[in-house]
Chains A and B, each alone.
Chain A
Amino acid sequence: MKRVYVNEEWCLGCHLCEYNCAFANSGKNDMATALKGKRIFPRIHVEGADKITYAVSCRHCADPICVKSCISGAISKKDGVVCIDRDKCVGCLTCVLVCPFGALAPGEDGVMQKCELCLQNGVGAPACVTGCPNRAIVYEERGEEE
C-alpha cells in the first residue's frame, strides 16, 4: 500500500504540513477561519533541530501495537489503514503509551486522533504531501509489508 514517507534532506522545517493537516481535518472550507489565532492539533509533527528536520506521522505499521493495545477496541486496521473510531475512544492514552513513533495525540476535544491518510476526511490524498513546498513528504508505494 501507499504510505507517507519523508526525505529528511529536503525538509525545510517550515511546519506547513502541520497546518495543512489541521486544516484538512477541520471540516472547514477556509484555512483562515479554521486555523487563524487557534492552537492547532495536527496529526503530523515536524521534529528535529537546527540542520535536520523531518515530519513524523503514523506509519500504519504491519503489526500495529496501538490496535493490539486499545482498551476499547477503538483502533482497527482497514485495508492497511490504521483508523480510530472516535466515538469509542475514552481518552485513556494507552495507545500513546505504546506507539513507538509517538504518532497519536489527543485532539482538541481530548479524543485520540492520528493520521488516517486523509482517506476519511473527504480530502482524498494526504494534505501534508500535496502541500509540501519542497516535496520532502511523498505518498508512495515502497513495497513494505502491509
Chain B
Amino acid sequence: MKRCVIIGNGAAAAGCIEGIRSADAEAEITVVSAEKHAVYGRPLISYYLEGKTDPAHMNYRSADFYEKNGCRVLYGRTAVGLDPERKEVTLDGGETLPYDAVCVAAGSSPFVPPFEGLDTVEKKFSFMTLDDAETLAAAVREDSRVLIVGAGLIGLKCAEGLRGRVGAITVCDLADRVLSSILDAECAGRMQKRLEENGIGFLLADSAVRFDKDVAYMRSGKEIGFDILVLCVGVRANTALVKEAGGEVGRGIAVDEKMLTSLPDVYAAGDCTESVDCSSGARKVMALMPNAYMQGFTAGVNMAGGEARFDNAIPMNSVGFFGLHAMTAGTYEGELFEEKTDGTLRRFYVKDGLLKGFILIGDTTRTGIYTSLIRERTPLASVDFALLRQSATTAAFSPAERRRKFGGASK
C-alpha cells in the first residue's frame, strides 16, 4: 500500500486528500497539521470578526472528512525535516514518517520586519490563523484604538472585520495606495474611499520606524497612539523543508505542472509554492485559495500514480469591502480597454489577440466569463469582444461555441 504524507492541513492539503482518493482508494494518508484545527477557510477569519460566520460554519469540509477519506491527522505536530533519500519526514519530537510520496502544503507565515521597539508593545497580533482571530477578538474592546501595519488584502480585511468592534482603526503602509500589489492608484483610490467612508483611517506612503509601548513613531514624524497593533506587512512562503533538503526554491518552492518539486516524489502545493502564471509565463507565488486547492488536487492525483496537470493558474482576486467589490485577474500588460462610470470601472488588457488581464470595480456580475477567457486562452477574434467589454455575456460566443459549451460536450 502506498504511503502518502501531507505536510500542512489547509486548502491545499484538502485538495491533495481529495486528489489522492480520486485515484487510489487504498493509499495510506497521514496529515501533519501544525494547527490544532480541522481544515477551515482561512480567509473566513475576517468574516468571523465581523460576525458573518462562526467557527461552527468555518470548516472547509464536513466533520467526517478525514474519517471518510481514511486519513490519519497528527494535530499540533510540525514536520521539521524532509529526507528525500531515505524518504522520510521528521516530526518535532524526533519520530519519522516514511513515505512513498509527500506533499509539502505548508502555506506561508507572516513576515515581521525588525521594527525597533516592537518588543515593548504589549498587545500585538498577526492575522493568519483562526487562533490569531480568536485572540484578537478577545483582546479588543469597544473603545480600542487599533493600528494595522499593512494595507494589503489581509490588513484591510482585518480592518473591515474589526470595524464594528472597536473605537478607531488606522491602517498604515509604506506604499502610496491600498492593495498596491493588485491595484493602480486610481482603482486603489476607489477602494480606499469606501473604506474611509466606513470609518477606517489611512496613513499611506508612511511607515512605522519605531514603537514605544503604545505609540508608533512614523517616518513622516507623526506619532500614532494605539492600544492594539496588528502586523499585516506581508507573508513569506514556508519553503524551508524543501530548501534544506536541497530542492529548488525561489520565493516559493518551485513546482512543475504536476506539482512535483525538483526532488523525486516530493510534491508541493498552495501558498508555499511558485509556479507559472499562464497569463504572463512568469513564475510566481500565487497565494490564493482556488489555486491552493487545485494545486493540491493535482499533486494528490499524481502522488497516487494518476496523471494530472495544472497548467492554467493565474493570479485572480475577488476583494470586497463594505459592499464594494473589485475583481482582478491575470497580467496587466498589452493594450488597455477601459470603461468608467461613477460607480464602476472596467479595464481589460489585451496582448497577442488574447485577454491577459482585467480589473473590475463596482459591477462584477458574471466575471467568471472573463476569467475563463484568460485561463482558456480563447482567441479574442473568435468572440464578440466589443460586446464583452460592455457586459459579461455568453452571447459574445458563436452559436457553435455556445452549443459546445451548453449543449452536451463537457468543458
A123 contacts the other chain (CB 8 A): no
Contact of B406 with A92 in the complex, beta carbons under 8 Å: no
With contact pairs A101-B369, A142-B408 given, residues A49 and B59 touching in the complex (Cβ less than 8 Å): no
Chain A residues with CB below 8 A from B411, complex form? 59, 61-63, 100
CB distance from B317 to the nearest CB of A (A): 8
Given A68-B297, A72-B60, A92-B43: A97 and B368 within 8 A (CB)?
yes
Q: A-side binding surface: helix, strand, loop or mixed?
A: loop
Q: Known: A69-B289, A88-B53. Contact between A8 and B320, CB under 8 A?
A: no
- List the interface of chain A (C-beta within 8 A of B): 5-6, 8, 47-49, 52, 54, 56, 59, 61-63, 65, 68-69, 71-73, 87-88, 90-102, 104-105, 142-145
Known: A69-B290, A90-B53. A97 touches B367 (CB 8 A): yes
A-B contact pairs, 22 of them (CB 8 A): A5-B407, A49-B395, A59-B406, A72-B43, A72-B53, A72-B57, A94-B290, A95-B368, A96-B327, A97-B364, A97-B367, A98-B290, A98-B368, A99-B368, A100-B371, A100-B372, A101-B369, A101-B394, A101-B406, A102-B366, A105-B365, A144-B408
Tally of A-B Cβ pairs under 8 angstroms = 129
B12 to chain A, nearest CB (A): 12
The interface residues of chain B lying within 8 Å CB-to-CB of A5 are 406-408
- The residue from A59, A87, A97 contacting B329, defined by CB atoms under 8 A apart: A97
Contact of B394 among A90, A93, A102, A144 (CB under 8 A): A102
Assembly CA distance A71 to B393 (angstroms): 25
Residues of A near B289 (CB, < 8 A) are 69, 71, 94
Write the nearest CB–CB distance from B315 to chain A, whole angstroms: 11
Can you list, as one digit per residue, whether each of B397-411 has a CB less than 8 Å from chain A (1) or not (0)? 001001001111111
Hey, which chain A residues are within 8 Å of B366, CB to CB?
96, 99, 102, 105
Is chain B's binding surface mostly helix, strand, loop or mixed?
mixed
B394 contacts A56, C-beta separation under 8 Å: yes
Binding site for A on B (CB under 8 A): 14-15, 41-44, 47, 52-53, 57-61, 289-290, 293-294, 297, 316-318, 320, 325, 327, 329, 364-369, 371-372, 376, 392-395, 399, 402, 405-411
A97–B318 contact, CB under 8 A?
Answer: yes
Question: Is B365 in contact with A61, judged by CB distance below 8 angstroms?
Answer: no
For residue B325, which residue of chain A has the nearest CB?
A93
Are the CB atoms of B394 and A98 closer together than 8 Å?
Answer: no
Chain A residue, CB-CB nearest to B376: A100
Q: Which residues of B contact A54 (CB under 8 A)?
A: 402, 406
Bound complex: CA A116 to CA B409 (Å): 20
Shortest CB distance B239–A (Å): 24
The 8 Å CB contact of B327, one of A47, A93, A142, is A93
A92 near B320 with CB under 8 A, answer: yes
Cβ-defined contact, B57 with A68, below 8 A: no
Which residues of B lie under 8 Å from residue A88 when comparing CB positions? Answer: 53, 57
Inter-subunit contact A73/B61 (CB<8 Å)? yes
A residues in contact with B369, CB < 8 Å: 100-102
Within 8 Å CB of A142, what residues of B?
A: 407-408
Q: How many whole Å from A110's CB to the nearest CB in chain B?
A: 8
From the candidates A8, A48, A87, A93, name the one contacting B318 in the complex (CB within 8 A): A93
B407 surroundings in chain A (CB, below 8 A): 5, 142
